[in-house]
Chain A
């Protein structure tokens, strides 16, 4: 096994945050079930993207689908991200439901004209006459030397764009339900996976189910501090919170937002009212993104609850480095997360 795969496996071996009985499968299998269900159920759904019909099949997510559903509904694309995004927008406006896969969110930066100027606005701009039921999927890379242009978590750049939905699943259960919801949704939805979570296993029902877009969920409960985030940032939060409960008797609420747009303010404020202390965690840059927005919500709508200044744990304001030496200073760790929680509770 290559060392990069070992890194993904090592992360997968952490326990799923939702412990319950039932069938256990991996995240990739969970996405495949969601896609198969929708491909069987709705002939308007089709899958495209560079490499969806490769032998590897987009980390295994779409492997074998071309054989199952035919080349007309599962197809490779030219290396033309902006063009293909616009083509998906047009197809979605005229009755189709494209699911467009990218290896990495970094490539979404090439598509901002279609995402921001067109896809997100068309329904509003034409007074509700067209809808754009489009799903865009990309997996954040991290580690194994991916570097500044293959490791970016750019959700913060899109957070302020009205009309988009942004989905960031953290468990196999969520991966399946949120994919089905995103395809069923009549708006452009971006699903930002995290490469490190893709070999994660967890309990996933065999039947199809939806998870509402815009509703967060408590991953653990506690009265001392509220930790809010999504995707892989929840991993660190859970590990740190569980360790601190044993080591320092600190009890944390951990809220997994599941989608950052729409953003579930209600659950954040509900928890903050109880704990009075807020730590926001995100896989992206701390400035101007998810951390900044949630921090502002606390200041604007939860100020009277606050017993301590809000803290955030995102990425520092520099590009993501390729090498492991620099990475250890770049990404938040369990230790830095615990440190942030402790200082918050003490203040």
Chain B
């Protein structure tokens, strides 16, 4: 039984959109998605070693949402994330060594073993942090955009949330305020149909779409195929145009699917069917773009293989870096409780 079928236009739509873009641009998007995929697969494959002692929330299957949206942001723009944060961190340009070291809870981790996997951040590229409380990030990110508006510094803010994030009241408190103040703010909802094991239709009425709710709050809002990286990219461009005009906040609902469980490395069944997962695997955002590049942009498979080797070498180095990094000590515990 497939409860939540893919309703996008698949490869045909991706091919059509791809015609507008140069090969180098498409190859760059592919590289970024492919890299996230390989990193996540390595994390999953090595999780059983029990050296990464932090819960992991893998983004395998959801690479297009973060790569398509971050492609239009500079390092001066802000993002803030939920617990499923690996993809956005990498897409915004977060340091890989610091991410893996954080999974190993070492001093060289991006938060020196304080946050673990659910609080990744890299301030140097505008990846400002992540909250493990559902929707906790949403008002904070809205505050970034208030700050940008008050300082007139033209920075944009994107907050990533899931389909359950919009079940928290504070999400709507934030969007309401952003609409009142016309903040330069983009709310990006990755709707993957499940919150831990709870399917969407247990949590929200069947006939009420998330993006429509946002629209009713006064946001420019649209729903897109989140497995089509160019659809994401173009929706993001429309949202940025709107926000940059001072018209107010925008909302993007991107339909996608996570292949692994809510957390951990397994595929996780019981609340969903193998047929549903297999169905979505045929809509793999990374494979779709690879197919377009091979069929329409004469990308040789050997080049994909070269990329794989290059990325694998980078990943291996990052894991070695993490494993060789120092552990925090007793002296580190009480630092930074208060700021001087």
Contacts and interface: CB of A to CB of B under 8 A. Distances in A.
B273 interface: no
Contacts of B142: 83, 86-87, 90
B339 A187 contact: yes
Which one of B143, B145, B337 has the highest number of Cβ atoms from chain A below 10 Å of its Cβ?
B143
Nearest to B141: A90
A123 interface: yes
Contact of B173 (A78, A124, A127): A78
Interface stretch (A92-100, A265-273, A324-332): A92-100
Nearest to A89: B140
Nearest to A128: B336
B173 A83 contact: yes
Contacts of B176: 78, 80, 83
Interface string A49-88: 0000000000000000000000011000110101111111
B312 interface: no
Interface residues of A, number: 42
Interface in A172-226: 186-187
Interface in B120-174: 121, 123, 128-129, 131, 133, 136, 138-148, 150-151, 169-170, 173-174
Given A125-B119, A126-B121, A87 B139 contact: yes
B121 A114 contact: no
A27 to B, nearest CB: 27
Contacts of B169: 82
B336 A90 contact: no
B111 A125 contact: yes
A113 interface: yes
A129 B98 CA distance: 14
A117 B133 contact: yes
Interface string A123-154: 11111111111000000000000000000000
Interface string B84-114: 0000000000000000000000000001101
Interface string B156-197: 000000000000011001101100100000000000000000
A129 B336 CA distance: 9
A205 B14 CA distance: 70
B138 A86 contact: yes
B114 A127 contact: yes
A87 B121 contact: no
A82 B339 contact: no
A91 interface: yes
A96 B129 CA distance: 18
Contacts of B78: 94
A83 B177 contact: yes
Contacts of A123: 336-339
A343 to B, nearest CB: 39
B246 to A, nearest CB: 14
A90 B146 contact: yes
B177 A87 contact: yes
A244 B140 CA distance: 52
B136 A118 contact: yes
A80 B175 CA distance: 11
Contact of A77 (B119, B123, B128, B177): B177
B248 interface: no
A124 B143 contact: no
Contacts of B139: 82-87, 89-90, 114
B50 interface: no
B49 interface: no
Contacts of A96: 146-147, 150-151
Given A90-B145, A126-B111, 12 more contacts: A73-B150, A77-B177, A80-B170, A86-B139, A86-B142, A87-B146, A95-B147, A114-B136, A130-B123, A130-B128, A163-B338, A187-B339
